Structure 1
């Protein structure tokens, strides 16, 4: 089973986030989500969601109808490949894998394999800022890659004040900030792409009630943003629901 890291202790957020803005949420809409989908990456495009799922033998790339959660198109990965984050660059979808250290490039409309590329770390999350790709590997680092050659061109270390923030997972570039799920927590970090500083924390505690015995794997993961409609969507691994939320500054 993937990632046997211990859950991040609550004291981390109590001590580190104290002076950093904290945001909560309001649910705008709730949509069905495949409870068998181990969500690793999520993007929005033309009123559809594109989703990468993980687990050995169950990893896939999917096109999903937003309102119904129906899987309209699917490409299953080989059994030895563990799917990870995705992003859409121009008319292509880029998908990472966990420990295989290879990524795949697909045509958006058909999921046709166009290319593959290699990297030197684990693959966790990926997004882009319109000029370059931004990738996470589960550490406190984010890497910048050329979008066409996948060559590494820089990196930043993510900090809340002087404290490193580890387990950076699924990524989404939103209005000039990098939103990052923190693995095995109910928090999304809002990160400056230039300094790596955490600009705020979004606390999504209670968004979906999960049985204590299942919390280790059924965690928050999946951020998608509708740039035109200014809609933010979030879900989790093996969650039966996907949520459109509004971010609210905590008083």
Structure 2
């Protein structure tokens, strides 16, 4: 499998459901529309244009990146100031890797359709174990108490950070309508930011209700030197306050932006 063909089929299969729910069912009470903003670019750094970015997270002065594709997936440490790759290790088993998140001295990394999550030792970047996960893995973040996983649908799934046991979940909606294609995630101050595949949209989600309370239209980033052959926006790493690093699959640039 190359690029995002399999994900496209999964996402496209959900469209009729989303359209029917949103367009054909009257709502007893109007839902206020989530505001839409554009990112404000603060600065930019280099990003490996060969990286099929699946996960992005800053912790302890290190920018961690997970890359995908079967047989080519890696877990990487980057310099957040320059984008330079400090260390890179191959994901075991030839898995098609997906989202990542840091939990203490560990890093969890999802796989797409292999049915496992890989737990890494953060200091040595060596695998500790593999744990079974039901369903597809797309994005992953840690809110300080639980792992939150996306699987390409409109549902966020909650997991125990110790062993990946599923402990709950919530369905995500924007203006009362399901939001499918939830992809790379970032947990910040009790909220979840998510790339919406295969678009240039980022949404901010209240994980208690599943409601989207902010929408980011990042389509303008393509005009800043992103080649047409690059793939979708995918990668959100919180820096501080309202500032984030964002990038995409095969993007040559990482942007530091203000959101909200």
TM-score by length of 1: 0.89
In structure 1, list runs of 5 or more residues that go unmatched.
none
Structure 1 position 208, deviation (Å): 2.5
Partners of 2:221 and 2:116 lie apart in 1 by 33
Structure 1 position 2, deviation (Å): 4.4
In structure 1, what is the equivalent of residue 233 of structure 2? 220
Structure 1 position 79, deviation (Å): 6.4
Question: Does 2:242 align with 1:241?
Answer: no
In structure 1, what is the equivalent of residue 188 of structure 2? 174
| Higher helix fraction (1 or 2) | 2
Whether the 8 Å contact between 1:32 and 1:67 is mirrored in structure 2 is no
Secondary structure at the aligned position of 2:222 is classed as coil
Partners of 1:78 and 1:151 lie apart in 2 by 21
Report 1:1-251 matches (<5 A). Answer: 1-4=2-5, 5=8, 19-78=33-92, 80-209=94-223, 210-212=226-228, 214=229, 218-227=231-240, 231-248=243-260
Whether the 8 Å contact between 1:21 and 1:201 is mirrored in structure 2 is yes
Partners of 1:211 and 1:225 lie apart in 2 by 25
TM-score by length of 2: 0.86
Whether the 8 Å contact between 1:85 and 1:124 is mirrored in structure 2 is yes
Structure 1 position 230, deviation (Å): 5.6
In structure 1, what is the equivalent of residue 28 of structure 2? none
| Higher strand fraction (1 or 2) | 1
Partners of 1:18 and 1:151 lie apart in 2 by 35
TM superposition outliers: structure 1 runs of 4+ over 6 Å: 6-9, 15-18
Partners of 2:92 and 2:189 lie apart in 1 by 35
Partners of 2:174 and 2:185 lie apart in 1 by 17
Secondary structure at the aligned position of 1:206 is classed as helix
Partners of 1:190 and 1:221 lie apart in 2 by 14
Partners of 1:44 and 1:62 lie apart in 2 by 12
Structure 1 position 65, deviation (Å): 1.1
